[in-house]
Copies of this chain bind each other. A is one copy, B any other.
Amino acid sequence: MLFMVEMAVNLPPDMPAERAEQIKATEKAYSQQLQREGKWRHIWRVAGLYANVSIFDVKDAQELHDILMELPLYPWMEISVTALCRHPSSIRSDDK
């Protein structure tokens, strides 16, 4: 099942740079692992914002939830979730 997830990150300006970098590095590794597994299918940066638009391909809403809850940046994120399905006009066999 496909979900669009929009994530906006709000780190407090006074978080020590070292801690912020460490969290971001962990986040990046976690995201790339899920991308390699095919579960985090797309991730794009929203131009000008510390935010992204992502497409997840998961078994169900439970798996999506478990993945998002483990995001290292989750405590500083504002998240919105939109369930997607195949569009009848799509010609891509993998955008189901």
Contacts and interface: CB of A to CB of B under 8 A. Distances in A.
Interface of A: 1-5, 11, 13, 27-28, 31-32, 35-36, 42-50, 52-53, 55, 60-62, 64-65, 68-69, 75-76, 79, 81-92, 95
Given A4-B44, A27-B89, A43-B95, 7 more contacts: A3-B83, A36-B91, A45-B84, A45-B85, A45-B86, A48-B65, A64-B83
Q: Which residue among A4, A32, A43, A86 has the maximum number of chain B CB atoms within 10 Å of its CB?
A: A43
A86 B62 contact: yes
A83 B83 contact: yes
7 A-B pairs with the lowest CB-CB distances in the bound complex, closest first:
A13-B75, A47-B61, A47-B83, A48-B81, A44-B84, A62-B85, A61-B83
